[in-house]
Structure 1
């Protein structure tokens, strides 16, 4: 009975989440057309709404820990569900992503993504897209900001393990920027798929930045160790032990 009630609460939460997205898009778009500041205001407002409404509608509180990066950096984040994106975007000043090229054509979302300075990438052309992004930042045609990268390449369930991809080390070298690792336990409350949202405290924690100067292999090992060790600790604090799951 308790599960059924929480499932219904979760369903209403998801419905309102997308309903509010549509309303905010209609409201903010006329302003966002003329000013990128309004684009940031729109995405921050929406993400903060989702966090706030999750707290009272399904009992899922959320907390950001560590020093929020505000300069031009790479954020290498553990990615377990849509909610960790929401949490990070709600606090970093100028978020942007590397995204699939086809998403440019998604109604409303594609336009907002391009206005944020997200980098559309065709398969096999990532290096070219990164060079274009860096050139655009330098000549003023693309906004600077915090480029959010998911080193595992996709959402990974809280109790699953997936190798880290070397693309983040290429970005680390090519951009000359430091990397801020981000750990999370979000997946134990908000899964990759399905409607049910579990109550609790979802955490995204920004860890110590990795400065420039590391070789690729030591960098990758250090990054993975930092993110995975802290994410496992956060999940255990929430009562879930991924190491104990076969």
Structure 2
């Protein structure tokens, strides 16, 4: 049966209504005057290309200005840009620096992103640190962190392999509609890992995953149907 790999990094990209109603020129003026929210909002606009030509260098500049003033979302997004080399030279150490500043303000997305970078980085990979930060974000209800924590227990990376723990974290993420977690629950039921083998329940989870757009769930569902379940 097919499993899915860990979920990827996340950005904070929501704009408040006041920013949506404001002209770019007005926003630029406020940002240049040092308004922290205007600086962050300009970063979002340039990184998404919302109403302007997408420009990662400009996005990084404005995120940096807001981040240096202590804007948690800007700190997370600047970390993301360093992690991906968007508008700045890729630097995972700088990414961690800015994620940690956002985490110090309680930003759950930055906690999750620290987990991802420590799991996937070729420069600072540390599975135990990845598990630590996934646990922090998962405890606050972050669905992708819960799913990724399930993966770590499933694979035995950074923790002792424990299918029951994997099952529990997949269940938490699946309850929030995470299709990858729903698929992986199906795999555990198919294989009898951490739970009594049950192809009917496996098929039910695959159906949910498929219904939520997960191709692996669709493939696994069809496989069980062909086998008569």
TM-score (norm 1): 0.30
Q: Which has the higher contact order (CA 8 A, sep 6+)?
A: 1
Q: Which protein is richer in helix relative to its size?
A: 2
